[in-house]
Amino acid sequence: MKKSRLIIGNWKSYLGLADGIALAKALVDHHVPQANQIVVICPQFPLLGAISQVLPFHQQTSNGILLGSQDISAWDAGAHTGDVSHSLLSDLGCHYSIIGHSERRQGNQETDAMLKEKLVMAINNGITPIFCVGEPLNVYQSKQTLAFIEAQLTAVFSDFPAIPDQLIIAYEPIWAIGSNIIPRLSEIETVHQHINKALQQLFPVTPSESIRIIYGGSVNADNCKSMIQQPSVDGFLVGRASISELDFLSIIVNSNKEFTS
Ligand code: 13P
C-alpha cells in the first residue's frame, strides 16, 4: 500500500480568532488536493470550534483539510480543570493531536511518563498522535543524535499498553525550529531511517504503512522540495510558514513528490 504523505500546520499560539478563521477560510477556498496527501491544521484549542465550522465538508473527505490539536489530555473526561476532553475533540472533528512538542517538553515540563499517558489516551480515543522527537544543539554537535532520539522513543513506547492504528513521528531538531537552519538531507534521512528501525522493534505487528515519519523545523516552500525527495520523509510539520496562506499552500503543492520529481 502506498503511504499518503502528511503536511501538518502547527499554528502554535500565533493566530487569534479573526486571523485564524480568515486563514482557515482562505485555505478551504484555495487548497488544491494533491494525490496521496493529507493536510492537517492545528490551531490553538479555543479556535477549534470556530475552525471546525469552516471545514465541515473537508472533514468528511479524504483529500480535504483536517483538524488537529496541539496537545491532548492525559486523563479521561472529568475533574481535570483546564484540560480538554477527547470526546469534545472528536465532536469537533479533531482526529490528530501533536504530543510532546519540544516547546511543551521544555516550557511545560512535560515528562516521558506524562507523554506516554497522553499517547495511550490519544490512541484509545481514536486520535492519531503526532509524536515529536528531536535533539538540542549540543547533542547534535556531539554527534549523539541517533542515541538521543532512540532514547526518546524507547522512554514512551517500550511496554506500551496500546496498539496504534496510525502513528506519526515528527522529527524536529530543536536547533532547527524557528532558526531558518535545517539539517543536511543525508542527516534527515539517517535519523528517519533510525526512527523507522526503532519503531519496527517497538511495534512488530503494526504494518509499516501505518507509521509515518515527518520532518519539522524551518520548513519552507523552497526547502520542502528537496526534503520530500528523501525516501523516508513522509511529510512535514510546519510552524511559521503554516500561518501564511501563500507559504502553506506552496508547501502543499511543492511537497507533491510526483510533481517535483
Ligand atoms: P518552524 O517551522 O517555525 O521552525 O517551527 C517548527 C515547529 O516547531 C513545528 O512544530
Domain-located, residue 259: no
Domain-located, residue 49: yes
Domain-located, residue 203: yes
pTM, entire model: 0.96
**Mutation test residue for ligand 1: of 133, 214, 219, 223, the one with most atoms within 8 Å of CB:** 219
What's the 241 CA to ligand 1 centre distance in angstroms?
A: 8
Domain-located, residue 260: no
| 170 CA: nearest ligand 1 atom | 10
Which is nearest to 41 in space by CA: 251, 259, 196? Answer: 251
Ligand 1, CB cutoff 6 Å, lining residues = 10, 101, 172, 177-178, 216-219, 237-241
Domain-located, residue 137: yes
DSSP codes, 49-84:
HHHHHH-TTGGGSTTSEEEEES---SS-SSS-TT--
| 220 CA: nearest ligand 1 atom | 2
Residues catalogued as catalytic: 101, 172
Domain-located, residue 261: no
Domain-located, residue 209: yes
Predicted local confidence at residue 195, as pLDDT: 97
How many Cα neighbours within 13 Å face the side chain of 156? 24
Predicted local confidence at residue 23, as pLDDT: 97
Q: What separation in angstroms does the CA of 56 have from each of 25, 52, 65?
A: 11, 6, 10
What's the 202 CA to ligand 1 centre distance in angstroms?
A: 27
Domain-located, residue 116: yes
Predicted local confidence at residue 180, as pLDDT: 97
In whole angstroms, what is the distance from residue 256 CA to residue 165 CA?
24
Residues 167 and 199 sit within 8 Å (Cβ to Cβ) = yes
Q: What separation in angstroms does the CA of 142 have from each of 151, 176, 177?
A: 16, 16, 19
What's the 248 CA to ligand 1 centre distance in angstroms?
A: 12
Helices (H), the chain: 17-30, 48-54, 86-91, 102-107, 112-124, 137-141, 145-157, 185-202, 223-227, 245-254, 257-260
SS3 category, 14: coil
Residues 202 and 154 sit within 8 Å (Cβ to Cβ) = yes
Predicted local confidence at residue 257, as pLDDT: 66
Question: What CATH number did the domain enclosing 12 receive?
Answer: 3.20.20.70
Predicted local confidence at residue 209, as pLDDT: 85
Predicted local confidence at residue 147, as pLDDT: 98
Encode the chain (261 residues) as per-residue pLDDT tens digits: 568 899 999 999 999 999 999 999 999 999 988 888 999 999 999 999 999 999 866 566 656 899 999 999 999 999 999 999 999 999 999 999 999 999 999 999 999 999 999 999 999 999 999 999 999 999 999 999 999 999 999 999 999 998 898 999 999 999 999 999 999 999 999 999 999 999 999 998 888 889 999 999 999 999 999 999 999 999 999 999 999 999 999 999 999 866 544
Domain tally, the chain: 1
Q: Can you give the residue range of the structural domain that contains 100?
A: 5-254
In whole angstroms, what is the distance from residue 65 CA to residue 130 CA?
16
Which is nearest to 52 in space by CA: 71, 33, 66? Answer: 66
